[in-house]
């Protein structure tokens, strides 16, 4: 596939995928608009790591289809014949790539102006290339990550080939997909007609199921995101310092992550623990504007000397930061899950999180850390101070063992493989529009 035209080089760690590598398990086509790409390398690491674990640990032959907006020809796609011909050649010749052992195909999309238009373009890109995919990869099941865009496109593929459809809904709050009537219709149609819908937390399951019919809600189950425990591991030596505790905030400038609330809480923490320091990272979508916002918030808080901004981190960089901190704080207004929490726990670190949905499924015991009310920086500060006051009492190995038992690659990938087997063995289900 794609052998007729030379591929534009992708930077490392992407590699050309030259030969098929069949695995003994189920053949699963994964659809994900969030999958990492050279233009967005920090996007969707939880999808990449899940698919890699399925291939490595569960023997599932999972391959990814991730359509991407082509480029500046978008504004007038029919006004330039040369651009249109270039688009068609690119769509026909786009080769498979290999990223961390995962085969991925990035077919181009024409449109990106507005969610509804992009949904149409995304679905069209999948429909155009899926027959070519099918010729070299006879997938038995489609796994879409989010009801829109991927579930909408995945439902069309599943109907076309008579295969089961699984949707993992990551969107939180789910109202982001229901406020637009057209997006809501396509999203709920995909979720309602999927063979199974996975929520990543109990809170998200409740949030999504109230939009579905009883039949649709009955098909929902909770399978959490996973953590790569080889990458996120404890340091060889740990000496927590309650006098100069290092606090990590990995939320970036996203208002939902509430960086202003974290800085306000830090100010209160430092009244009683004046040596406390905060490390702040950028978020995947921050860009220059996000960095400007964070630096402004830090300056306005008057705590420049106590706050270190380290910018956007790759996965290895984030793991190093977590190994070097004493605790992690997540202050979001809403979270469907909260991957940074299980990453910190895998490093043996206690966590403080707002009780904003997904974290309630993660911070389930006192030995893991504390939950605080949403939007209350004073309560957040008190929770941080309680953790700081007993840093020496937290058992890193016990925290890591809990993460292994509930969120490890082995546990989650095997849960998914069992679900695939059950759906593949079940008789086809009639669907409706």
- 105-146 pLDDT tens trace: 999 887 666 777 888 889 999 998 999 899 989 999 999 999
Q: Would residue 258 be called left, alpha or beta, if left means φ above 0 and alpha means ψ between -120 and 50 degrees?
A: left
The position carrying tokens 């493989």 is: 417
Q: Considering only residues 111 and 163, tell me which one the structure prediction assigns the higher pLDDT.
A: 163
Residue 82, pLDDT above cutoff 70: no
Task: Please tell me the predicted confidence (pLDDT) of residue 72.
Answer: 52
User: What's the rounded mean pLDDT across residues 54-66?
Assistant: 96
In CATH, the number for domain 15-226+410-425 is 3.40.50.2000
User: What's the rounded mean pLDDT across residues 89-102?
Assistant: 86
Could you tell me the pLDDT band of residue 15, with boundaries at 50, 70 and 90? very high
Phi, psi of 352 (to 5 degrees): -125, 130
Angle between helices 115-136 and 81-93 (to 10 degrees): 40
Stated pTM of the model: 0.92
Domains 15-226+410-425 and 246-407 fall in the same CATH topology: yes
Which range among 88-92, 180-184, 242-246, 406-410 has the greatest average pLDDT?
A: 406-410
**How many angstroms separate the CA atoms of 328 and 306, rounded?**
16
The bridge status of strand 96-99 relative to strand 15-16 is antiparallel
Closest CA to 191 of 171, 166, 174, 170: 166
DSSP 388-408: HHTGGG--HHHHHHHHHHHHB
> What is the dihedral angle through the alpha carbons of 413, 47, 223, 122, rounded to the nearest 10 degrees?
-120
Task: Please tell me the predicted confidence (pLDDT) of residue 4.
Answer: 41
Peptide bond into 149 cis (omega under 30): yes
For the chain, percent of residues with pLDDT exceeding 90:
78
User: What's the rounded mean pLDDT across residues 195-205?
Assistant: 97
Could you tell me the pLDDT band of residue 1, with boundaries at 50, 70 and 90? very low
Domain 246-407 in CATH 3.50.50.60? The answer is no
pLDDT digits (tens, 9 = 90+) for 336-363: 999 999 999 999 999 999 999 999 999 9
Task: Please tell me the predicted confidence (pLDDT) of residue 5.
Answer: 46
pLDDT digits (tens, 9 = 90+) for 278-307: 999 999 889 899 999 999 999 999 999 999
Mean pLDDT of the chain: 91
Measured CA to CA in angstroms, residue 126 lies from 60, 95, 98, 243, 323 at distances of 22, 14, 19, 55, 40
Residue 250, pLDDT above cutoff 90: yes
Task: Please tell me the predicted confidence (pLDDT) of residue 8.
Answer: 63
Closest CA to 158 of 53, 283, 276, 29: 29
Task: Please tell me the predicted confidence (pLDDT) of residue 3.
Answer: 42
Residue 2, pLDDT above cutoff 50: no
User: What's the rounded mean pLDDT across residues 263-277?
Assistant: 97
Q: Is 433 exposed, middle or buried (0-12, 13-18, 19+ CB in 10 A)?
A: exposed
Q: Is 397 exposed, middle or buried (0-12, 13-18, 19+ CB in 10 A)?
A: exposed
Phi, psi of 308 (to 5 degrees): -115, 120
Task: Please tell me the predicted confidence (pLDDT) of residue 328.
Answer: 98
148, 190 contact by CB (below 8 A): yes
Residue 404, pLDDT above cutoff 70: yes
62, 102 contact by CB (below 8 A): yes
Token digits of residue 420:
């695939």
Token digits of residue 380:
């957040």
Looking at 226-336, which runs of residues are DSSP E strands?
246-249, 277-280, 307-309, 327-330
Closest CA to 54 of 199, 168, 174: 168
158, 167 contact by CB (below 8 A): no
331, 265 contact by CB (below 8 A): yes
Token digits of residue 147:
């009801």
Residue 32 DSSP symbol: -
pLDDT digits (tens, 9 = 90+) for 67-81: 987 655 445 544 556
Task: Please tell me the predicted confidence (pLDDT) of residue 431.
Answer: 62
User: What's the rounded mean pLDDT across residues 245-266?
Assistant: 97
Sign for the pseudo-dihedral over CA of 35, 37, 39, 40: positive
How many CB atoms sit inside 10 A of residue 365's CB? 9
Token digits of residue 153:
């496109």
Domain boundaries, the chain: 15-226+410-425, 246-407
Q: Give the containing element (helix H, strand E) for 99.
A: strand 96-99
Task: Please tell me the predicted confidence (pLDDT) of residue 114.
Answer: 73
Task: Please tell me the predicted confidence (pLDDT) of residue 426.
Answer: 83
* Least confident interval from 87-101, 188-202, 215-229, 399-413: 87-101
């Amino acid at each position: 596939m794609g052998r007729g035209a030379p591929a534009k080089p992708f930077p490392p760690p992407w590699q050309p995928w030259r030969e098929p590598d069949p695995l003994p398990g189920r053949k699963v086509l994964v659809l994900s608009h969030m999958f990492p790409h050279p233009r967005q390398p920090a996007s969707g690491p939880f999808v990449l790591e899940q698919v890699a674990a399925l291939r490595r640990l569960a023997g599932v032959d999972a391959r990814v289809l991730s359509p991407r907006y082509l480029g500046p020809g978008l504004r007038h796609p029919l006004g330039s014949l040369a651009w249109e011909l270039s688009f068609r050649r690119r769509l026909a010749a786009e080769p498979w790539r290999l990223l961390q052992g995962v085969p991925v195909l990035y077919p181009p999309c024409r449109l990106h102006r507005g969610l509804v238009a992009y949904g149409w373009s995304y679905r069209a890109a999948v429909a155009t290339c899926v027959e070519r995919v099918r010729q070299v990869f006879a997938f038995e099941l489609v796994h879409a990550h989010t009801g829109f865009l991927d579930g909408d496109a995945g439902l069309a593929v599943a109907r076309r080939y008579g295969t089961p459809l699984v949707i993992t809904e990551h969107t939180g709050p789910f109202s982001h997909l229901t406020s637009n009537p057209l997006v809501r219709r396509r999203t709920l149609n995909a979720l309602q007609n999927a063979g199974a819908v996975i929520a990543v937390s109990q809170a998200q399951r409740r949030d999504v199921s109230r939009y579905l019919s009883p039949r649709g809600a009955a098909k929902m189950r909770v399978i959490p995101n996973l953590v790569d425990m080889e990458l996120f591991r404890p340091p060889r030596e740990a000496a927590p310092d309650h006098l100069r505790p290092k606090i990590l905030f990995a939320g970036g400038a996203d208002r939902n992550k509430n960086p202003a609330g974290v800085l306000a809480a830090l100010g209160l923490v430092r009244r009683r623990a004046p040596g406390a320091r905060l490390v702040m990272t950028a978020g995947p979508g921050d860009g220059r504007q996000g960095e400007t916002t964070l630096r402004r918030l830090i300056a306005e808080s008057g705590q420049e000397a106590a706050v270190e901004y380290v910018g956007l981190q790759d996965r290895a960089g984030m793991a190093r930061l977590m190994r070097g901190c004493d605790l992690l704080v997540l202050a979001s207004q809403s979270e469907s899950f909260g991957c940074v929490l299980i990453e910190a726990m895998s490093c043996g670190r206690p966590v403080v999180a707002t009780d904003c949905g997904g974290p309630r499924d993660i911070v389930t015991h006192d030995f893991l850390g504390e939950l605080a009310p949403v939007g209350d920086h004073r309560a957040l500060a008190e929770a941080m101070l309680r953790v700081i006051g007993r840093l020496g009492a937290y058992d890193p190995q016990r925290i890591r063992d809990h993460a292994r038992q509930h969120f490890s690659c082995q546990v989650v990938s095997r849960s998914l493989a069992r679900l695939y087997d059950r759906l593949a063995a079940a008789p086809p289900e009639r669907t409706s529009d």
